[in-house]
Amino acid sequence: MASAAMAAGTSNTHCASDEQTIFSCPIAHTQKVLSVCGSKRLGSNEGFLQYRYGSVGKIELTYPQSRTGTQEKFRWVTNEHLDVTDSWLTFRNASVSYSVFSMVDHPNGMGPVTRRNGLILEGNNGISQTLKCAAPVIDHLEMLRDILEKGDVGNS
């Protein structure tokens, strides 16, 4: 898997050329890349979905490890507010909840549309950390809306 980014022809993803990149970005102020990769054919009961994190050429975490039944391991959350639409891909690994997020601020035509992307990690102890994406960001999280079960994995 270390050569997945090289196979895809870019250093901004851990997804291989025979996979689709659903989400990927370099983490600001680090040499790390966060990617959500899926099989080319992905549905609620077809294909696989994986979260990958680490330096290019050295993935530190792949979740889940198996490519079987992966959609059951993730949840989808979306919220639409007056000026913000946010989408969340959530999962739990050991005692940590992971939330990959995509937020679009659209201030009712009164200003420019802005986007925020990143990862929030939250432990059972309530301590959380936010890792923000730097450009360029590949963001197709919305495609998971009809594939994954709705709801949050929580932190309990």
pLDDT digits (tens, 9 = 90+) for 108-125: 767 788 899 999 999 989
Domain count, the chain: 1
> Which domain, by its residues, includes 111?
4-147
DSSP state for residue 124 in the 8-state scheme: T
Q: Detail the DSSP E strand segments found in 47-139.
A: 49-55, 58-63, 74-80, 84-93, 96-105, 114-123, 128-132, 138-139
| pLDDT (tens digit per residue) in 26-78 | 999 999 999 999 999 999 999 999 999 999 889 999 999 999 999 999 999 99
- Does residue 133 sit within a domain? yes
- Does residue 35 sit within a domain? yes
